[in-house]
Amino acid sequence: MNKKSLLYPLMTEKAVKMLDSENKLTFVVSMDSTKEEIKKAFSREFNVKVKSVNTHIMKNKKIAFIKLAPENKAIDIITKLGLM
């Protein structure tokens, strides 16, 4: 796996709601990334435990909904990235 799986965070109204209520982050990922690759890349990049990854393909984009383990807070990661 020498390609970049995580491309950039997606901050929409729905993504912000999921950030607060479900401890989920939304990222646009490369089209050929698998859920396991996304999970490993995110864990390695942000040093957090990922509980699950769901993906959705729309308009030539693959979107990953990354749910963090309860001990990690999604809002902390978004703050580190400077998006909130």
The answer to whether the CB of 51 falls within 8 A of the CB of 57 is no
Number of helices (H) and strands (E), helices first, in the chain? Answer: 3, 4
What's the pLDDT tens digit per position in 15-64? 999 998 999 999 999 999 999 999 999 999 999 999 999 999 998 999 99
Q: What ranges in 22-80 are assigned the alpha helix state H? A: 35-46, 74-80
State the pLDDT at residue 1: 41
- List the structure tokens of 57: 């393909």
pLDDT for res 2: 44
In the chain, how many domains are there? 1
Q: Which residue has the higher pLDDT, 34 or 84?
A: 34
Q: Which residue segment(s) compose the domain that 45 sits in?
A: 6-80
Read off the pTM.
Answer: 0.90
List the CATH number of the domain containing 36. Answer: 3.30.70.330
Classify residue 1: in a domain, yes or no: no
Note the pLDDT of residue 4.
Answer: 86
Task: Tell the burial category of 36 from Cβ atoms under 10 Å away from its Cβ (0-12, 13-18, 19+).
Answer: exposed
Q: Which pLDDT value is given to residue 3?
A: 64
In whole angstroms, give the CA distance from residue 73 to residue 3: 27
